[in-house]
Chain A
């Protein structure tokens, strides 16, 4: 077979023919049919050809793979595959791998099993050069040159070592014999004379520079530090601006911030765990840690953050000068006169009056100070002898007693008792016969009298004779909470909080008359009281105290207590001062000459104040409350108008026990001695003496 003939049939192959021959020189001689050179050639040839002989291979770039195979096949004796560029797995199940040039099937060769091939490979030292060519189903052994080629290709270099990628440029044009230059034009004049336009431009620039229109960038001068504060000895704080407050310095670190603090500064694990339970803002920001050597201290992770927070403080926080008091807290307390100098005052409990079967709601002391009357919610009124604690008399009135009040006249031994919607005027049967006769006269009600009473209060109150107790009974239409006698003993006032316009009524005992107040009441009346020496009447409503002149029938004053709910009122025997107790436990002292606002407000009780009283002769006053304490104060009023009253807390009287959330319900001073009676919800009456 002649290669020429093949070439003519396939014009594409013709050029590659020449270079494939050198492969053949090594391979074609041995006729044993295995063409080891050809696959590698097919890989390497396009690249090698491109590099080494560009001019020859210019057109053969497009030559396909199979053609080159066919090209090499013509040199080989062995049948070459001609299936073309089809997926080879099409022939997986066939006994042949393809067809040779004549159309005959090429049989698959027998394959060694894995073990066999492995054993064969082990023995063969050239095994690493062998490559399996799947297309032709044969094994190819690479020569040394080919391995070199592959290696160079892997390194991205030209495959042939002798190829020079940067050859010197060889000018294609031969200049030697040229007679004429490329351009024959003569050199222009402008090449020899200075440019007019340039000169103009220069002049323009020069002028601009002279005029100062163009300025040059001055060389940058470093504005380094200089002596800023040369001599500031004469300078003082400048005053034309607002006062400058320097930022407070940061707190200096204590032992706990040390890298190696004493062991006791380090919190235990339990404490650290307990921090987790705290609110985030309460949690300590810094937990002390201990490192045994300086080399083991790590970088502090919050360094930047803390610096930043300080910056924020510096420019975002308003600066205010605050006086930091570095004083003993005790020095804040006001200087009060010693309590010893203010004696006598009640200090300790001496007598207990036992006998009531329920809370004692009210007590009243007889003007001479020998007897004390008490009313209780067990429906009894009792009279006790003060000094012995003996119960002299008891009345079963059958209803819880709200208030008892002894007539202030020493020879009229009668008692006003309020129970429910009634008020009883009881004869106590004390005193000699003459006095008793008078009292009996006083307490007899002529049944005809109410009818010719003036119309203003006839419907609200009825005066009745109570034969059971030998007393007068006044029937009201609402519950009466308080009864208060006038100093002359002929009048008394009653308070019915729910009575609206008829809440406060004044009764004339000798005439058996009842009068409505000619004033409009503002708010819910709580207590009322008479002035100790003048015809002035005080009505305490929930939020204010109103002072009326009964003779002139007009309002004199309105006192703002500022309390939420007043509960009791007492007037100083002098008449110009009064105290108001409230249900929030506050005590207001009013100086009526001074102002309509409280002169002093004392927050002494945590619970409701039930009653407040003045002593008639000693400068004492007291308050009792549901917290089972009674406070005794020294309240000195001076006749000099310029001097404010002196108030000194003296004693806290304890001893009562709480029942049903109520403590001391009433307290009264002894008329002559500095003794205090207290009536508790624990069924006891106590006497505190000095």
Chain B
């Protein structure tokens, strides 16, 4: 028997360890017999990512894939389809070279198309999984919906339109089911957060302005991702529409679509369908529904005028006592009885009984849509200037008009003119904020991110966050009035409570002041006592000395504490010590950031005081 040398592997024997489990990318390419772009595409579609083997047997500059992952790609039918596509492309080229345009055309039409649905099912076996990873998908689809179609950049007009449609469908669902939770206008775009089936989904929609497709971006990679994301969002939308008993894809009113009110058309579609199909969940409800629908239908027939019908659809939100409205309510409740949670209810009723009007500047296509997504999902009624609007500017019942300009010429006294930020801030705070600061022509208060957790230790809290918190507390108390408040006070609870809150904050400060006073008083009493006992000044001096000596001691103590810290670290293993150091550094960095902000704040405050 020949004794095996350590690193020698006899010809028939398999590899072991990391070398057996992982392959480099070029090895994988060789094994799959495909080129790099196709490999990348497959990886994107199948969700195969490189792995980090413990031992990088071919060097650190290589990318490693797991053998199983490569086998996973190897068995993929997509691989075969892409081979067919390549063959097909060669045929087309040949036909074109022979000037056989007819054949080339036919071949081009017959090019096999890869299907993604199986892969989606494979990657996301449960619907919840798909929802959990929808963030990137939504952000990308929304970005492409805002991109200019460019031949040179290979961005198809169809692709843009499809993205736009999918995005609108998603938005319509979210606003329809009151799932939107937070919205945040940032420099990068507008962030939205919705909660669907317990999954928090956050996505970014770019500002509705001309996006630039820069050259340092590889559009092909993004299109590969889009090839996965488009069908994924389609399937998700289907499932969501299915869950609220709507047909998918929705058929839209072409007139409204042309009027750049796609989303509105969608929401109308949803309303109409729900009306037409009364639910049978609850027999009592259905009976009522049928009887009422009988009443409602002739009415609807009478109303020929398109605009008034639109308006009716909108009004159904508002008037629960109205007959079609009542029906709506029943259906809605039956459909979503089990999933109405506290949050949804809160969101639903936030802007209840409020009527909004958007000024002309919002007729920018996407801008309008984005505004719309806010309003219906939070229970308000919206109209806008332009064709197809449910009601006109002159409507007296409008409570708020949202204006984004320097000054408003003609003003109705019955309504308030606010800047759009008010809507966002109110939504995030879940209360209707006072409109004073958001009046037209003023610089609004800072717009704060709703995604920050101020509870975290050491976090910097901006002033406006504090005032919002106070207002929220006030609003919460509105529901449960204080027992001590007299009847005459109850007539105007809001004012009283806001005052009360302010009092509470003041009371805290007062308590602190009191404590300080108490301490001083105590000291004074002690001194008095000593005087009474006849303590001489010399002893008092010694007392002072003692105090100073204690000061020295305190420095000694600090030294000792340092020493103790050193001792602790001395006995730690190197790994833990490094970890501790890293933690300290990161904490310090965080602290430095906060300090910087605080410092700036201080400077600003000082400057204010001087002025």
Q: Which residues of A contact B (CB under 8 A)?
A: 217, 220, 223-229, 232, 235, 237-238, 241-242, 244, 246-247, 249-250, 252-255, 257-266, 268, 286, 288-289, 291-295, 297-308, 310-312, 314-320, 325, 329, 332-334, 336, 602-604, 647-652
Given A225-B235, A333-B572, answer yes or no on A303-B449 (Cβ-Cβ < 8 Å).
Answer: no
The answer to whether B572 touches A332 (Cβ under 8 A) is yes
Q: Which residues of B contact A235 (CB under 8 A)?
A: 125-126
Checking B188, B202, B597 against A303 with a beta-carbon cut-off of 8 angstroms, the contacting residue is B188
Contact partners of A257 in chain B: CB under 8 A = 186-188, 449
Contacts A297-B187, A320-B52 given; indicate if A303 touches B222 (C-beta within 8 A): no
Min CB–CB distance B604 → chain A (angstroms): 5
Q: Who on chain A is nearest to B605 by CB?
A: A264
Q: Are B125 and A238 in contact (CB under 8 A)?
A: yes
Q: For the complex, what is the distance from the CA of A204 to the CA of B63, rounded to whole Å?
A: 58
Contact A225 B449 (CB under 8 A): no
B206-A303 in contact (CB<8A): yes
Given contacts A235-B125, A299-B211, 9 further A-B contacts (CB under 8 A): A225-B249, A247-B133, A252-B451, A253-B184, A257-B449, A264-B462, A294-B419, A314-B49, A318-B49
Q: Is the CB of A299 within 8 A of B207?
A: yes
Instruction: Give chain B nearest CB distance to A309 CB in angstroms.
Output: 9
Interchain CB contact under 8 A, A315 and B49: yes
Most buried by B among A241, A264, A297, A647: A264
CB-CB under 8 A from A227, the residues of chain B are: 238-239, 242
B461-514 at interface with A (beta carbon < 8 Å): 462-464
Determine whether the beta carbon of B68 is less than 8 Å from that of A241: yes
Q: A225 touching B69 by the CB < 8 A rule? A: no
17 CB < 8 A contacts A-B? A226-B235, A228-B120, A229-B126, A246-B132, A247-B133, A253-B184, A258-B187, A259-B185, A293-B419, A294-B420, A294-B421, A295-B405, A303-B189, A304-B147, A312-B221, A318-B49, A333-B571
State whether B449 touches A255 (Cβ < 8 A). Answer: yes
Question: Closest B-chain residue to A295, C-beta based?
Answer: B404
Total interface residues on B, using CB and 8 Å? 101
Name the residue on A nearest B129 (C-beta).
Answer: A246
B297: Cβ under 8 A from any A Cβ: no
Q: Which residues of B contact A292 (CB under 8 A)?
A: 443-444
Contacts of A320 in B (CB 8 A): 52
CA distance A242 to B189 in the complex (A): 37
Cα distance A329–B578 when bound, in Å? 11
Let me know if B435 is at the binding interface, CB within 8 A: no
Report the separation of the CA atoms of residues A647 and B567 in the bound assembly, to the nearest whole angstrom. Answer: 11
Give Cα distance in the complex from A163 to B116, angstroms: 68
Give the Cβ gap from A609 to chain B, nearest Cβ, in Å.
14
Query: Is the Cβ of B419 less than 8 Å from the Cβ of A652?
Result: no
5 nearest A-B pairs in the assembled complex, by CB-CB distance:
A252-B451, A299-B209, A333-B568, A264-B601, A225-B234
> Which one of B121, B563, B604 contacts A228 once the chains associate, using CB atoms below 8 Å?
B121
Most chain B C-beta atoms within 10 Å of own C-beta, residue among A293, A301, A320, A325: A293
CA distance A50 to B121 in the complex (A): 79
Distance between Cα atoms of A279 and B170 in the complex (Å) = 43
Q: With A and B bound together, what is the CA distance between A238 and B123 in angstroms?
A: 10
Assuming the contacts A228-B117, A252-B191, A315-B44, asked whether A329 and B587 have C-beta atoms less than 8 A apart, the reply is yes
**What are the residues of chain B within 8 A of A259 when measuring CB–CB?**
185-187, 447
The answer on a CB contact under 8 Å between B446 and A329 is no
> Could you tell me if B570 and A246 are in contact, using CB atoms closer than 8 angstroms?
no
Residues of chain B with a CB closer than 8 A to A306's CB? 188
Task: Determine if B276 is an interface residue (Cβ-Cβ < 8 Å).
Answer: no
Closest-by-CB residue of B relative to A257 is B186
Q: Can you name the residue of chain B whose Cβ is closest to the Cβ of A297?
A: B207
Q: How far is the CA of A460 from the CA of B143 in the complex (A)?
A: 89
Partner of B583, one of A224, A232, A261, A329: A329
Q: Which residue of B lies closest to A649 (CB)?
A: B567
CB nearest neighbor in B for A224: B249
User: Within 8 Å CB of A304, what residues of B?
Assistant: 143, 147, 211-214, 217
Would you call B109 and A217 a contact (CB within 8 A)? yes
Q: Which of B237, B242, B249, B446 has the most CB of A within 10 A?
A: B446
Partner of A264 from the list B189, B444, B572, B600 (CB cut-off 8 Å) is B600
Mask of B70-95 contacts with A, CB within 8 angstroms, 1/0: 00100000000000000000000000
In the docked arrangement, what's the CA distance between A261 and B136, Å? 25
* Residue B524 interfacial (CB < 8 Å): no
Q: Which of A223, A310, A315, A316 lies at the interface centre, i.e. has the most chain B CB atoms within 10 A of its CB?
A: A315
Tell me whether B69 and A300 are in contact (CB under 8 A). Answer: no
User: A228 → chain B, closest Cβ, in Å?
Assistant: 4
Chain B residue contacts of A225, Cβ below 8 A? 231, 234-235, 237-238, 248-249
Partner of A334, one of B218, B237, B568: B568
Q: A252-B451, A264-B604 are in contact. Are A336 and B135 (CB under 8 A)?
A: no
Docked pose: A244 CA to B191 CA in angstroms? 28
B51 on the A face (CB < 8 A): yes
Within 8 A of A (CB), among B139-170: 139-140, 143, 147
Interface of A is mostly: loop
Considering only CB atoms, which chain B residue lies closest to A302 in the complex? Answer: B188
Q: Is B130 an interface residue (CB 8 A)?
A: yes
| Cα distance, A302 to B216, chains bound together (Å) | 11
Q: Are A649 and B570 in contact (CB under 8 A)?
A: yes
Asked whether any CB of chain A lies closer than 8 Å to the CB of B306, the reply is no
B566 interface residue (CB < 8 Å to A): yes
Chain A residues whose C-beta falls within 8 Å of the C-beta of B127 in the assembled complex: 229, 232
Which residues of chain A are near B188, meaning CB under 8 Å? 253, 257, 300, 302-303, 306
Asked if B50 CB lies within 8 Å of chain A CBs, one says yes
CB distance from A264 to the nearest CB of B (A): 4
Given A225-B235, A604-B570, A332–B185 Cβ distance below 8 Å?
no
CB-nearest residue of chain B to A255: B449
Which of A217, A260, A301, A311 lies in contact with B447, CB distance below 8 A? A260
Shortest CB-to-CB span from A368 to chain B, Å, is 33
Do A305 and B214 contact each other (CB < 8 Å), given the known contacts A249-B135, A258-B447, A295-B405? yes
Kindly provide the distance from the CB of A253 to the nearest chain B CB, expressed in whole angstroms. Answer: 5
> Is the CB–CB distance between A258 and B449 below 8 Å?
yes
Is B66 in the interface zone, CB < 8 Å from A? yes
Min CB distance B520 to A, Å, is: 34
Q: Which residues of A contact B463 (CB under 8 A)?
A: 262
* Known contacts A263-B604, A332-B580, A652-B566; A224 and B234 CB within 8 A of each other: yes
Nearest B residue to A265, CB-CB: B597
The docked-state distance in angstroms from the alpha carbon of A604 to that of B570 is: 6
CA distance A306 to B576 in the complex (A): 36
What is the bound-complex CA distance between A243 and B59, given in angstroms?
Answer: 25
Say yes or no: is B326 at the interface (Cβ < 8 Å to chain A).
no
A246–B588 Cα gap in the complex (Å)?
Answer: 31
Residue B110 CB within 8 A of the other chain: yes
**CB-nearest residue of chain A to B203:** A250
- Out of A246, A315, A319, name the residue touching B40 (CB < 8 Å): A315
Q: Which residue of B lies closest to A604 (CB)?
A: B570
Which of B49, B147, B443, B584 is close to A317, meaning CB atoms less than 8 Å apart? B49
In angstroms, Cα B185 to Cα A249, docked, is: 19
Q: Which of B43, B127, B188 has the most CB of A within 10 A?
A: B188
Asked if B553 lies at the interface with its beta carbon under 8 angstroms from chain A, I say: no
Nearest CB of chain B from residue A220's CB, rounded to whole Å:
8
A58–B412 Cα gap in the complex (Å)?
A: 84
Q: Does B361 sit at the interface, judged by CB under 8 A?
A: yes
Within 8 A of A (CB), among B580-611: 580, 583-584, 587, 597-598, 600-601, 604
Please state if B206 and A651 are interface contacts (CB–CB under 8 Å): no
A297–B601 CA distance with the chains assembled, in angstroms: 24
Distance in Å: Cβ of B104 to nearest Cβ of chain A: 15
B210 within 8 A of A: yes
| Closest Cβ neighbor of A650 among chain B residues | B567
Q: How far is the CA of A255 from the CA of B428 in the complex (A)?
A: 13
Within 8 A of A (CB), among B36-58: 40, 43-44, 47, 49-52
Shortest Cβ gap from A603 to chain B (Å):
8
| A318 vs B68: C-alpha distance when bound (angstroms) | 15
Contacts of A295 in B (CB 8 A): 361, 404-405
